[in-house]
Amino acid sequence: MANKERLNHYPSIFIHGFEGYGCYDKTDYVMHYWGMFRGDLMKHLRDQGYEVYNPSVGPFHSGWDRSCELYAILKGGTVDYGKVHSEKYGQTRDIVFPIINTLMSLSLATVETN
């Protein structure tokens, strides 16, 4: 792709699977989820000029919870699992995500307005 013109300049978001980990987890410093033993795929893509992110969501959480967490990471702010879901599973409804990538939020806000 290095020699071809890119069709868009939107950021790419890589989401790990069940039992996985993202860039904010300590495991990623030892062995990168995206690239494993072959190197850091995120770094490789960034070096090629791509804007990529691999946020961390709960590795053992339900699909609903992971979606809510990812939304809070991408948009910035507080995770809201929803009233019915929180009551059903005994969760705190609103949890402030301690790690929010401000640059990612700004970048995605720019994409939405274009």
Query: pLDDT, tens digit, for every residue of 26-64?
Result: 777 788 888 888 888 899 999 999 999 888 888 888 888
Would you list the domain boundaries of the chain? 12-113
Q: What angle do CA 101, 17, 28 make, to 5 degrees?
A: 55
Q: What are phi and psi of 30, to 5 degrees?
A: -85, -50
Quick check: 10 pLDDT over 70?
yes
| Rounded distance between C-alpha atoms, residue 1 and residue 28, angstroms | 26
Percentage of the chain lying above the pLDDT 70 cut: 76
Poorest-confidence range of 2-11, 13-22, 42-51, 52-61? 2-11
**What are all long-range contacts of 17-22, with beta carbons under 8 Å and residues at least 24 apart?**
18/59, 18/60, 19/59, 19/60, 20/59, 21/56, 21/59, 22/54, 22/55, 22/56, 22/57
| Rounded distance between C-alpha atoms, residue 41 and residue 81, angstroms | 31
